[in-house]
Structure formats: C-alpha cells, structure tokens
Chain A
Amino acid sequence: DTTVKQNPRYKLARVGKPVNLICSQTMNHDTMYWYQKKPNQAPKLLLFYYDKILNREADTFEKFQSSRPNNSFCSLYIGSAGLEYSAMYLCASSRGTGGYAEQFFGPGTRLTVL
C-alpha cells in the first residue's frame, strides 16, 4: 500500500486564526514532506522531516511549523493564517536516507483563508 492520507481534504479558515493540517502514511517511510501549491504554480517544498529532524526551507522558515510525534504522522501548523496561505497543501513521504528517494503524495488539503 503506497497510500498517503491527508485530512481534511478541504479546510476553511479565518484570517488570524491557526490552522493544523494532518498527514499520515503506513509505509514506514522515514521522510515526510509538506509542499504548497498555488494555482498555475508548481508545488513548492515548505519543509520535511527526516526521522525526527525537521528541515524548513529558508524562505518559509517563519511561516510554517510542523510536528511528527511518530513515524506515521506529520502535521503542518500555521499559527496565524493570512490570505496568502490559501493554497493546496500536499504531503509526501519517502523511504531512504539519500536525498533522491521516490516520493509518494497524498491527495492534498485545499485551504481557503477568508
């Protein structure tokens, strides 16, 4: 089973409110990723967890947090949502210590901030 699950599929949030998105996988993958995709743009990596180590991209460092309480589960947290956070958020996972392992994607959570 190469399924990555994401909940919820759609999320409505108010400006200034926190948002928590959830991803899970049962493939025992050591790395989990979060990408942001806006219309007419390619997905952009926000951060990834390799085992328990969080790596955040430099240009989104302060905007997103994440937690990974166990191997199967990873969340993406926005402390105070702004209109610019409206996007599709894709979770992915991969196995292997190298940087080029095959990534498997979830269906995404579409976040709309009003």
Chain B
Amino acid sequence: GDQVEQSPSALSLHEGTGSALRCNFTTTMRAVQWFRKNSRGSLINLFYLASGTKENGRLKSAFDSKERYSTLHIRDAQLEDSGTYFCAANYQGGRALIFGTGTTVSVSP
C-alpha cells in the first residue's frame, strides 16, 4: 500500500487565511521534505526535517517520526502561494524519497 498519504488533495484559501497540509506515513520515516512545484514544473525545496519544526516566513513545517506524520502550515495566504505542494520522505535504510500525491492549493482574493 501507499507509504505516504497526503491530504487534502485540493485546498482553497482566501487571501489572509491559513490552513495545513498533512502527510501520514504507514511506516517509520527518518526524514521528510516538502516541495512546491513552480510554474515551470520544477520542484522547489521548502523544508527538510529529520525531526521537530521549522519555519520560513509564512510557512511552518513539523515532523513527528514516532507518530508518523508531517504537516505544512500556510498562514496569511497570498495569491503567489497557489500551486501544488508535495511531501516526500525517506524510510529507514532507504535512499529513495517516497512522495505523497500532492496538494493543489488555490488562493483567491
């Protein structure tokens, strides 16, 4: 079965509001990355976490290996935050990043 379950698949936000994306893991992961796909289709690195939380501007991410989940919070959403976000994680002993299915975020005025 899928090892990385990402939700929601789509998220609509009004400017200035916030919400969270979540990835649940069916096995213990050792590190997680969050990406955003840019207009040219490239994956842009947002966060890399082996544990705990990190914050960058209006984005904040958390990773709990024991509880098997990671979150990406967007606060004070802006129009430019629209796009597709992916989580990806390494399981123990693996080099491969296992990707979630993505969340398409749409921010409207």
CB within 8 Å of B: which residues of A? 2, 31, 33, 35, 42-45, 48, 55, 57, 90, 92, 99-100, 102-108
Residues of A within 8 A of B96 (CB): 33, 44-45, 57
- Total number of B residues with any Cβ neighbor in A under 8 Å: 22
The one of B42, B99, B101 that contacts A108, using a Cβ cutoff of 8 Å: B42
| Count of chain A to chain B residue pairs whose CB atoms are closer than 8 Å in the complex | 46
Interface of chain B residues 67 through 109 with chain A (CB within 8 A)? 90, 93-101
Closest chain A residue, CB of each to CB of B29: A100
B35-60 vs A, Cβ < 8 Å mask (1 yes, 0 no): 10000111101001010000000000
Is B30 a contact partner of A42 (Cβ separation < 8 A)?
no
Is B30 a contact partner of A105 (Cβ separation < 8 A)?
no
Is B42 a contact partner of A48 (Cβ separation < 8 A)?
no
Complex alpha-carbon distance, A48 and B90, angstroms: 14
Is A100 a contact partner of B42 (Cβ separation < 8 A)?
no
Contact of B11 with A by CB under 8 A = no
